[in-house]
Structure 1
């Protein structure tokens, strides 16, 4: 049976409350901008812990078995995306949340599909790149200037090599 996780709805409610204040961009419910006390720290830590691990689910079926209406509470695995949304909704301005929240929700709902597509793309790229031949290019240099070869290229009337004047700090043009 499918369930809707109420944690997603809590994030929306937080941002609706933020929009009702006089200046929603200055909303700071835990007064984090000022001195952090142990009570504030533990309150925030416990709420983050509960929010990231405990799932509150509402059944999505129209008629539950035995006509029972219930909310399923269970300890699920850690949800990093929900924790990131929760922290973002608390600390960042409200306008940012309304742009990012649908993106995170769509990523969460299509997570398995996105992972399968990403995995197949990585395997495809690995297969294509393994077909490419290996090239080894060796570049060697010598410190010695062969003046005979330079005279042969430029002729006997060629330009004489001048050593740069390093005492003045620059080479001649």
Structure 2
């Protein structure tokens, strides 16, 4: 007597419709491209793995669809993006630079420049050096005490060293 009954809208339960149904429990985000399901109020959201899109992560992203490769470069899509195979005379991620990648001598400290398979450059660094352009000295040559005089001061240089001799000494 005097009671009431609520007719709940879709997605809600309980005597006063206070409970939100967890839509993720029905596993709506089950495609291989799905990372996880996020419960929302009366809804859900599928978080997609890299390379997938759509409400249920069922559409593969075509990273070559907008033709990112310039100057006649050929696009190859992979899971996380794309790679451009550049025409001769072009280089860069999207073949946006003309000339030859090694023309500007980008390798420092005696590094050898060679053109990579995608038309960009790669530096082959001498021992003790690393980095894109061989700019990082990874070995302190002074640690092995290369200076012959005990009072000489050793200065580490990229891939090399200098000895500063005391007065009256040379070498």
Which of these two proteins has the greater Rg computed from alpha carbons? 1
Whose strand fraction is larger, Structure 1's or Structure 2's?
A: 2
When normalised by structure 1's length, the TM-score is 0.29
Whose helix fraction is larger, Structure 1's or Structure 2's?
A: 1
| Highest RCO, 1 vs 2 (Cα 8 Å, sep ≥ 6) | 1
